Structure 1
Amino acid sequence: MEIPNSPPKTQPPIHEISISKNNNLLVPILTKIHAGYFRITLSLGWQALLWKILLQPNQEHSNFSFQVPKLLYFTILTTIWAFSILILILLSILYTLKCIFCFKLIKAEFMHHVGVNYLFAPWISWLLILESAPFVTPKHVSFIILWWIFAVPVVILDVKIYGQWFTKGKKKVLTAVANPASQLSVVGNLVGSRAAAKMGWNEVSVFLFSLGMVHYLVLFVTLYQRLSGGDRLPAMLRPVFFLFFAAPSVASLAWYSISGSFDTGSKMLFFLSLFLFASLICRPALFKKAMKRFNIAWWAYSYPITMLALAATRYAQEVKGGVPHAIRLSLSALSVLVLLCLLVFTAFNPRLLLPDDDPTLVTTTTLPTNASLSTAASRAAIDGGLTV
């Protein structure tokens, strides 16, 4: 009697083998990490830029009563900048691996009404790292090349997302998907505009500035009228409300770079951001549920405050007096304090960085079927968050 030949074993693809070899560690990280983790690098990048402006020696409008030695200036700035780029490189590698091994999760993230907005965050972070670099000037050829590499994806995302608002049906219309995180697209355009102005490209800078501000006005009116947004945002993500004053803050900085002075337009945007900031901090009950347990969304508190501190710094340079100086000092100190607290909370709560109930975590069951994933890892990949 002949024994039937067993079917030949099919060898899984190379990328699935790579995942299975490290399934105990790599798979949970790749399935749970999302673009929202770049909140950390946004905070670090803006902080590096703040210290670059505060401590810059030999500038016309000094921020301190004494001149900071160049050696101390470069030491402090290089330390902050090096730490920022280290974290950014680490997150970029992890997210790139997710794009390679779990691309369907990336597609699902793009379709999520909150998650899609954080796709701007990696490019904004790299633009901030470029602007805050202590050894590269805006006129240098490397600055120009890197600006194109980091700014073009922002415009491509603009075309894709804004195009959906114009042409898609009810599911993709702005009033159905708008939320406070949508303002990250505006911030991306304005950061690119500021960097272009530093290079002397006024036409490109005005183009990006106008693109960002027009959509900011539409977003602000949509969210202000509560047509959508706040009611659909989970309580855990309420720190993202701080983006309400972040967008006008960076707009005032971008217009300052375009016009060359902190003129009336920059002041109006700064006053608007200051008013919105005061409106939010006077309502602590809004963030009560979000503060019950540490999560990655807490990092959304940091970078908007730093943006406002930067705008206040430029305002204090233009308008002399005790009140502008006090505002600048208070906001700068608050920015540093919030960042230090977040670093401490993150260091002492590493397990909470990859929670199973992250509202912005978009998962799908269509992971590689041939990969030998463990049962626990598979369950975490399927049940780790909201399904689109």
Structure 2
Amino acid sequence: MNRSSVLRTDILAAAGAGAIAQACADAVSARLVGCGHADTAHPDARTGAGLLQEWEDFLAETRQSTRYNGARRFQARAAAVAAGAKDNWGEPVAALFSDTGVRALITGAARARGPWYGARRLSGLLPPLRCLSIPESGIVLGDQAAALDAVRRHLGALLDRGAVDRIDILNVPTDSALHAALARDLGGRFRVMSNDHVRHLRQLREPGSGAPIQQNSAKTRQSLRRKLRNLSDAFGGAFEFLRFDAPESTDRFVALAAEVTAHTYQVALNVGVKDDAPTRALARELAAEGLFRGYVFLGAGRPIAHVMGDLECGTFRLWATSFLPEWGRFSPGILLLDRVFDDLTEEGAERFDFGHGDAAYKRLLSTGSQTEADLTLYGPGKAAALAWAVHCVTVRCKSLLRQAAARWGVLDWLRKAGRGALRRMG
């Protein structure tokens, strides 16, 4: 018998799961397990608490744990939703595929929402879709053949049987077996949109030996040291590099980072670090687990640049970085990142993940890149077909404009000009 055919499916959701989670379980004849407060007191192997422990063990074994797919954070979200708290991402839902142990994991959020974000103004005309959103690293495969087949069958069944109308899967490497299976099989059965982008990476240590990598030439190192001295001299020597990783220090970091962000174009886009309760809570939570890292350049007591991210399984993942534009002539963002590379290497980190996006500083500082795709799969219904058509038109228009700007050599200039305009707009 094909091993994939004996993998059982357990779907975890908030206690008193919503209609979409119930439909997902019904579509694949899976057991629905509530993961609210009531489950934590029962450590039996097949209760919610037991499954969450199997989940954690699976991530530790595969070294694919990230802040997006951890069981403890999932449980906390599920408990909050079960207690009536609003979750802007939707109801947390996960599927575990097991035989003698977990072989694959899907974690995401389910909710009814309007059409693709590029068609917000049509929300009143198009009916809401039942959506399953799977974040970066939300699909983890262990035993490759069985796990891949189980995941592919599961996602196909959710669409085919109407449990959901649309599935969003973020940041799937285009050279991976998962991407090939989704594009080959599900792409042949359902309408699929693919938005490709580049993720830049910087290798900090040699794979295998773990030896630190000297990235910069002697000339570049000398240039960076000179720029750093000039920046320090501009503050009369009152210049500090600060690192934040303890739970009791994260509130201060968030306040400093938000102060920098408030003077950049990021605030006009409603991105970057915000000094609010959710950001502070997440930073404290990850710091308590030893994962949070925050870095700041402080000049004369004022923050002028920051870097924020998490370090897990040897990889530092960048969440946000920015610097005060008035000090841009000294390149404080580049100088801070260079100092962060050294700090992370000293504590044993293997790579720095800049995240997706093709910003000029990422191209400059990375040692490699990989192409990834955000996949959107639409089901067979009429509402899904209409939303897919709108999605196609808006994505195509955006792609043509971007290609034209790149062909004319003005893409980076347009980005810089746009950020300057947003900054002036506040």
TM-score bucket (shorter structure)? under 0.3
Higher relative contact order (CA 8 A, sep 6+): 1
Structure 1 length as normaliser, TM-score? Answer: 0.24
Query: Which structure is higher in strand share?
Result: 2
Structure 2 length as normaliser, TM-score? Answer: 0.23
Query: Which structure is higher in helix share?
Result: 1
